[in-house]
């Protein structure tokens, strides 16, 4: 039977005193203070209300109800003698005349205490996620997510964007991650793929004459989990603009995202538009990362020329990067912990020196650098109590290791990390190509559908010259917020001739391009507008707004780190007839 209510558990106030009301919700707690006297806490989505039991009959009923059962309470509102100013309903209580059980909790022992569920083991929380979400602190993240998504939709619609949904079952596409494949029952031996992103579809919409598109798009990638990335699926604010430049996209997203950070963000300050533009190469040189946390005031410096010939083996014929902290007072044990953590995270060793109170280099590798002290002092601005942490190796490895050093020093040494803000920037001018770490061959650095800066001329002039190819930049850009890549986008390569040439340089000929991207290639031959777009990650955006350290805290039903849904027991085995239907045979 449907049980109506007159008020929610967060609604009643002193003005309701004397009224007869009906509340429904979960029995959160019972506190007995006498033989026939007890305080109940009733909780629903909106809040909590105190219920006072003071008869033998009602007490007997309450004792028979397990916590977390759903109940209906009808009674009279009265003013509390001991008010609770921390609760919106803390001035009143309800004296019940009737309590009915609506949904019985059949377990005397819960997996965890609801209001302390965040202290439980994560796998236990995920297995009993429906209980975890009863915790108001956990639920609030999901509520905020709903509010932010609604706000994003409103702002995008106001800017003239149409919300258009794109297919979930599509063709496999090489977009940098592993696909989730779906066998096609009516086409034996063939597979659909779940989209890693709506990339091709949104570009096809531009060729179809839609001027501005967006959607809150589900994306599927078979990737390993990280604190800021969930395995399996995620959501992004996917958007695209026809007849648009890079600046058009960046300014549009700035107009949309700044109000969201200001309205819903945890931190007091937000970078104002236009955000700072940092070229990729400059970001790697100054911060050792293409997603720098600009809340840290330290920078990476190149000391290669200053230390060459010093006699320290790892510095010879290597790029050497340094991060300096002045007024450094940490002990040797602290330094050893820093070096260990850097090596664990990067796989590369770091080294160090300090400047003592007399202005001399000491500790670490100081014996090798005494002859370089004057040059280092001039380059790094060294003074008594300066600390220098260094990384050496191939340029990219030295940069990335120094970037980790910068982040660790910035967050561990007091005075270098301004946490109470959203420090936002654009990383621009990404290289079009790179040498793949695994393949050793020329590969696309970022997005294969991006327009190279310089167009066809840049590609043809660099053909056959690896150094020139690696120097070509693309119209690609990332939004970085507090050290997290929060959006990625590009001006698209809408010219089929330039597209074919771009793919030829990585070993894919015209026939391969037509075979892999038939719809997009053919559509572009019918007159495509210049277009550009981007895709802020919704899950990561909510994580930043809430200040959570794990992205799983802002997803309603997340998988665990091993890409398992412990609540639904997925992935799971299926019956043989299901495999037969889709023409799949399993190898032992």
Rounded Cα distance between 396 and 20, Å, is: 71
> Which class would CATH give 296-417?
alpha beta
Question: What is the share, in percent, of the chain residues with pLDDT greater than 70?
Answer: 99
* Domain 14-103 is found in CATH 2.40.50.140: yes
CA atoms within 13 A on the CB side of 46: 13
Residue whose structure tokens are 């500790």: 363
Q: Where are the domains of the chain?
A: 14-103, 296-417, 431-473+495-528
pLDDT (tens digit, 9 = 90+) per residue, 82-124? 999 999 999 999 999 999 999 999 999 999 999 999 999 999 9
pLDDT confidence of residue 129 = 98
Computed over every residue of the chain, the mean pLDDT equals 95
Phi and psi at residue 90, to the nearest 5°: -75, -5
Rounded Cα distance between 213 and 203, Å, is: 10
Tokens at residue 92, please? Answer: 């009143």
Of 202, 197, 166, the closest CA to residue 179 belongs to: 197
Q: Tell me which DSSP letter residue 77 carries.
A: E
pLDDT confidence of residue 172 = 86
Predicted confidence band of residue 446 (pLDDT cuts 50, 70, 90): confident
Tokens at residue 416, please? Answer: 């270098």
Q: Is residue 447 within 8 Å of residue 490, measured between CB atoms?
A: yes
Q: Tell me which DSSP letter residue 473 carries.
A: B
Predicted confidence band of residue 355 (pLDDT cuts 50, 70, 90): very high
pLDDT confidence of residue 15 = 97
Tokens at residue 310, please? Answer: 């010093």
If you write DSSP's letter for every residue of 369-396 in order, what string do you get?
A: HGGGHHHHHHHHT--TT-EEEEEEESHH
pLDDT confidence of residue 175 = 58
Predicted confidence band of residue 176 (pLDDT cuts 50, 70, 90): low
Q: Is residue 167 within 8 Å of residue 197, measured between CB atoms?
A: no
Q: Does residue 571 have a cis peptide bond before it, meaning omega lies within 30 degrees of 0? A: yes
Instruction: State pTM to two decimals.
Output: 0.93
pLDDT (tens digit, 9 = 90+) per residue, 361-381? 999 999 999 999 999 999 999
Neighbours of 186 (CB within 10 A): 7
pLDDT confidence of residue 516 = 85
Tokens at residue 336, please? Answer: 């050893």
- Report CA torsion sign: 45, 46, 50, 55: negative
Question: What is the share, in percent, of the chain residues with pLDDT greater than 90?
Answer: 91
pLDDT confidence of residue 298 = 98
Is pLDDT at 311 greater than 80 in this prediction?
A: yes
Tokens at residue 75, please? Answer: 């009674």
pLDDT (tens digit, 9 = 90+) per residue, 390-426? 999 999 999 999 999 999 999 999 999 999 999 999 9
pLDDT confidence of residue 1 = 39
Sheet order of strands, 424-428 included:
162-163, 212-221, 232-242, 531-536, 484-491, 476-481, 424-428, 276-279
Is pLDDT at 538 greater than 80 in this prediction?
A: yes
Strands 180-183 and 70-79: unpaired
Rounded Cα distance between 342 and 360, Å, is: 26
Predicted confidence band of residue 217 (pLDDT cuts 50, 70, 90): very high
Q: Is residue 175 within 8 Å of residue 197, measured between CB atoms?
A: yes
Predicted confidence band of residue 565 (pLDDT cuts 50, 70, 90): very high
Predicted confidence band of residue 231 (pLDDT cuts 50, 70, 90): confident
Predicted confidence band of residue 165 (pLDDT cuts 50, 70, 90): very high
pLDDT confidence of residue 118 = 97
If you write DSSP's letter for every residue of 310-375 in order, what string do you get?
A: SS-GGGTTSEEEEEEESS----HHHHHHHHHHHHHHHSS-EEEEEE-TTS-EESTTHHHHGGGHHH
Q: Across 244-318, where does the E strand assignment appear?
A: 269-270, 276-279, 300-302
- Helix 280-287 vs helix 395-412: angle between axes, to the nearest 10 degrees? 60
pLDDT confidence of residue 39 = 96
- Residue 471 makes CB contacts below 8 A (sequence gap 6+) with 431, 462
CA atoms within 13 A on the CB side of 493: 24
């Amino acid at each position: 039977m449907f049980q109506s209510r007159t008020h929610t558990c967060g609604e009643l106030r002193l003005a309701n005193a004397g009224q007869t009301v009906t509340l429904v919700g979960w029995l959160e707690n019972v506190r007995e203070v006498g033989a026939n006297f007890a305080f109940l806490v009733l909780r629903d989505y909106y809040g909590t209300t105190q219920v006072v039991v003071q008869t033998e009959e009602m007490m007997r009923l309450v004792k028979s109800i397990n916590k977390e059962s759903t109940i209906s309470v009808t009674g009279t509102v009265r003013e509390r003698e001991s008010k609770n100013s921390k609760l919106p309903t803390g001035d009143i209580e309800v004296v019940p005349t009737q309590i009915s059980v609506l949904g019985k909790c059949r377990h005397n022992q819960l997996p965890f205490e609801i209001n302390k569920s965040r202290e439980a083991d994560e796998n236990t929380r995920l297995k009993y996620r429906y209980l975890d979400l009863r915790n108001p602190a956990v639920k609030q993240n999901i509520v905020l997510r709903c509010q932010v998504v609604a706000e994003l939709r409103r702002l995008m619609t106001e800017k003239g964007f149409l919300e258009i949904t794109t297919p979930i079952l599509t063709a496999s596409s090489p977009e940098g991650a592993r696909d989730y494949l779906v066998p096609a029952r009516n086409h034996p031996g063939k597979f659909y793929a779940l989209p890693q992103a709506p990339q091709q579809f949104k570009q096809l919409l531009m060729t179809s004459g839609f001027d501005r598109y967006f959607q809150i798009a589900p994306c599927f990638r078979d990737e390993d989990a990280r604190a800021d990335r969930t395995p399996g699926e995620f959501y992004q604010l996917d958007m695209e603009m026809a007849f648009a430049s890079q600046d058009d996209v960046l300014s549009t997203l700035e107009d949309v995202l700044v109000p969201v950070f200001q309205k819903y963000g945890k931190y007091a300050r937000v970078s104002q538009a236009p955000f700072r533009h940092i070229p990729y190469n400059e970001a790697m040189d100054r911060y050792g990362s293409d997603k720098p946390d600009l809340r840290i005031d330290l920078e990476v410096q190149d000391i290669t020329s200053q230390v060459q010939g010093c006699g320290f083996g790892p510095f010879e014929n290597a790029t050497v990067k340094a991060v300096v902290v002045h007024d450094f007072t940490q002990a040797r044990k602290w330094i050893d912990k820093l070096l260990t953590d850097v090596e664990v995270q990067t796989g590369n060793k770091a080294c160090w020196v300090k400047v003592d109170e007399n202005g001399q280099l000491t500790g670490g590798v100081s014996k090798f650098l005494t002859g370089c002290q004057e040059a280092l002092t001039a380059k790094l601005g060294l003074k008594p109590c300066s600390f220098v942490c260094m990384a050496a190796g191939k340029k990219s490895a030295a940069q990335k290791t120094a970037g980790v050093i910068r982040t660790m020093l910035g967050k561990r040494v007091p005075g270098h990390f301004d946490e109470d803000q959203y420090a936002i920037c654009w990383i621009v001018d990404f290289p079009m190509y790179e040498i793949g770490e695994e393949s050793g061959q020329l590969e696309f650095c970022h997005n294969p559908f991006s327009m190279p800066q310089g167009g066809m001329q840049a590609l043809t002039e660099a053909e056959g010259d690896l150094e020139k190819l690696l120097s070509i930049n693309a119209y690609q850009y990332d939004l970085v917020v507090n050290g997290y890549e929060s959006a990625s986008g590009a001006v698209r390569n809408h010219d089929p001739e330039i597209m074919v040439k771009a793919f030829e340089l990585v070993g894919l000929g015209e026939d391969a391009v037509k075979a892999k991207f038939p719809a997009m290639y053919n559509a572009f031959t019918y007159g495509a507008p210049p277009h550009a777009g981007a895709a802020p990650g919704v899950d990561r955006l909510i994580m930043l707004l809430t200040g959570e350290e794990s992205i799983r805290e802002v997803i309603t039903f997340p998988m665990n780190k091993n890409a398992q849904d412990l609540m639904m027991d997925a992935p799971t085995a299926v019956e043989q007839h299901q495999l037969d239907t889709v023409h799949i045979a399993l190898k032992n």
